[in-house]
Structure 1
């Protein structure tokens, strides 16, 4: 994990087996809102949309949908959905948590289904249920974690046991819970004494989130070009894990840290519109406001025993790379992949199986919907923030962002 710190920008790159798999950036003046708690004031209730707008002190009012006002446990919700005007009124103060960043012309989306992520669990103070990550596959371990969660939670509390809690000691998980309970009490105390709109609690910095959500303490290492950030990372690790083994290195080389680790070269290749596969094939990614389209081409690859074999191998290479690029670019929303046509159904299923397998490594929720009638593969990925590329790009002034030069404007 490579972290490049500048006065106004922090960038993070995650490398697995020599390949760049995640990249994120955060400006000091525009820190992520997702996960932060606000005390807001309802400024408008819209019966026709079953939603309300809440002033949380940002440039745009936050959007609060009726489902995010009801109890977080489905079994505790009424059979008939109540009207939003029966739940909220203009001028009412409410504590909300940001679940989606402002995107384009839309303000942030907020919820009253509160959650505080820790190292081993996600604490939901009012959810009243226990769940275990779907990525924990062993039934015996799932049952152990479920029983542990039921034993350590108080009445009305909710817990999600994260994937990293697998085989973890009960004392560590309970310690994580106590820390998160303390955070929640602090948020509640601040809400009682604060005047809306105001910030009650901000989620961790990009470096701390990286350590909390991604790090394998036994096998990973962290390189940071800032001594201050490196020391803060070590302190956070000590607090979170009571003596972690993750090596934290302060980089002091003569060239920029991203250049030294080959990150810049990979970023230039992986954020291009056309990405060449190692096999010689290629994939082209085009993003619109509503969805992303991915086109797969054989290119120079002709290595199969037959046309069907060549096509299938190219699609398999592409599926693996597409999963990595979606995660790396943090692409969200609807994604349509135009794989090269395959005649045999077993080959189509093989491509889907590989894509699903590769996407399980993604921390953001993904779902492969299936093949459309036109032979396109449809998938979705939860959209929480603007795509990473937005931070480092802008629309072309000549073509207006459509990727084609407007010759009329040149006369």
Structure 2
């Protein structure tokens, strides 16, 4: 069973997702700083750089957004030219354009934007100009994949594209059609606002953090949702009424004396899971170091001695580590390049087992992770897309003066 635990303060909403009592996802959002990903803007092209095959677009943020040529071409690969045209034949400075944020601004970089528009609903993702129907790869039954594709092809208009989400498996066609009608109305509203607004202008914001998790990870009939704010309870119930008109499990209002994250064991798991050093069952450890684009995870046996031979001990340690790494990548929302330094194993079969164990765990992650395999140095190489960085709000704030390299001490007299 899944539990969504939501802690609301005056300025911050924090959300934890538990599966059988174990923390698997966490995110936080400031009330006045809702994430940009998924939002639509009417922007103005400021610079077009053929040498970079990119343009910079003013969307009203501190930094201009970055628009790469691939995000200007047709979203259907079969409709793209064999040779990419120069970006300056597609866009001109001063041109006004509707863009959608696909990646948050970070560090000195502005947001990454696209014209490959998507609107996620409960059962599908709507793409106004994609011209194809896709089905989630997590739906394995071929008969169900074919059924959903037939429904999608019947419902979509000529230029539209649809991706049937995992939760649409075995869903009635009427519910899917209702979702499509709602998303079409949203898109038409965005177009109307774009006609009336002057660039730069916000046209449409993505859902709040709680609404996103309800839409993407919550089963209204089976899962538990517990919130410690009466206002947030009312908002969640209103959203659930719209999303699941056939009925849903009542939203819980937490009134306990101790903080909700403490009562449900979330705070303790957060402190342990976001540490640099993570201790595994039996005493093995992970050392977790992150940069802006690269994460390095080192696996150590430490105090673990649970095998009859060295190879058995090492393999067991690596299997435990693979299980935990898969969970923590999702929980910490780690993105970019990920390198794991597992303990050296002699047998190829044991290396295969470690990769399979890690693959099973990351398969439940809604963000796609690619396990690329072992390098010549015996390191496991992975990549994971990261659009948001909500979870970073849990981590300690880095000092702007020293970048976290200094130490706090007393003045000497």
1:104-137 deviations in whole A, cap 9, x for unaligned? Answer: 1100000000000000100001100000001111
Q: Distance in 1 between matches of 2:393 and 2:257?
A: 29
Give yes or no for the alignment of 1:276 onto 2:279. yes
Shift of 1:100: 0.2
Unmatched tracts of structure 1, length 5 or more: none
SS at match of 1:2: strand
Q: Distance in 2 between matches of 1:391 and 1:111?
A: 29
Q: Distance in 1 between matches of 2:377 and 2:55?
A: 39
Give yes or no for the alignment of 1:324 onto 2:327. yes
Q: Distance in 2 between matches of 1:273 and 1:178?
A: 47
- Seen in structure 2, the aligned counterparts of structure 1 residues 245 and 406 have a Cα distance that, compared at 3 Å, is closer
SS at match of 1:363: coil
Q: Distance in 2 between matches of 1:245 and 1:84?
A: 49
Q: Distance in 2 between matches of 1:133 and 1:17?
A: 25
1:8-43 deviations in whole A, cap 9, x for unaligned? Answer: 110000011111110000011211000000000011
Q: Is the 8 A contact 1:237 1:243 kept in 2?
A: no
Aligned partner of 2:90 in structure 1 is 87
Shift of 1:209: 0.3
Q: Is the 8 A contact 2:293 2:335 kept in 1?
A: no
Aligned residue runs from structure 1 range 92-111, under 5 A? 92-111=95-114
Which 4+ stretches in 1 moved above 3 angstroms?
A: 396-400, 404-407
SS at match of 1:279: helix
Aligned residue runs from structure 1 range 118-267, under 5 A? 118-267=121-270
Aligned partner of 2:392 in structure 1 is 389
Q: Is the 8 A contact 2:67 2:112 kept in 1?
A: yes
TM score, norm. by length of structure 1: 0.96
Q: Distance in 2 between matches of 1:192 and 1:159?
A: 25
Q: Distance in 1 between matches of 2:152 and 2:72?
A: 25
Unmatched tracts of structure 2, length 5 or more: none
Q: Distance in 1 between matches of 2:178 and 2:21?
A: 35
- Seen in structure 2, the aligned counterparts of structure 1 residues 143 and 157 have a Cα distance that, compared at 3 Å, is same
Q: Distance in 2 between matches of 1:126 and 1:31?
A: 27
Count of residues in Structure 1 that have an aligned counterpart in Structure 2: 409
Q: Distance in 2 between matches of 1:144 and 1:388?
A: 37
1:374-395 deviations in whole A, cap 9, x for unaligned? Answer: 0000000002123623554222
- Seen in structure 2, the aligned counterparts of structure 1 residues 240 and 95 have a Cα distance that, compared at 3 Å, is same
Q: Is the 8 A contact 1:334 1:380 kept in 2?
A: yes
